[in-house]
Amino acid sequence: MADPSRLRPDDRADFEAVLHHALGTADIRGALGTDPGGLTAAHLRAHALAHADDIAAAAEVPYRSYRTVRRAARHETRGPLDTPAVCCRPSRCSHRSWRARPPRRCS
């Protein structure tokens, strides 16, 4: 079994998306604004990606919660015979999916 404190390969895309979002917030952009070339932001991004396992280990409790919620969401979005569920009313549906995950069922 994999070390629970390490970032799992199937979570890496979400980690990168959250990192991109965090580096794009006004507070972070403002703090990094003293570097007009953007090298500090690029260095920070590369450093975070290189140390993703350490970051996951430092955030072990929230990461474990994330994994539990994600596992439940994946289970919820499965239809009969473990096939991806489809939205019943795509034009009126308020559900949003991240990346290539299937949409949730409308209620």
Dihedrals phi, psi of 84, to nearest 5 degrees:
-60, 140
- Average pLDDT of span 18-39: 87
- Residue 69 one-letter amino acid: V
Which tens digits make up the pLDDT trace of 15-25? 999 999 999 99
Torsion of CA 96, 102, 106, 107, to 10 degrees: -110
Taking the model in full, what pTM does it have?
0.60
The yes-or-no verdict on residue 57 having pLDDT over 80 is yes
How confident is the model over 72-105, as pLDDT tens digits? 888 776 655 554 455 554 544 554 444 444 445 5
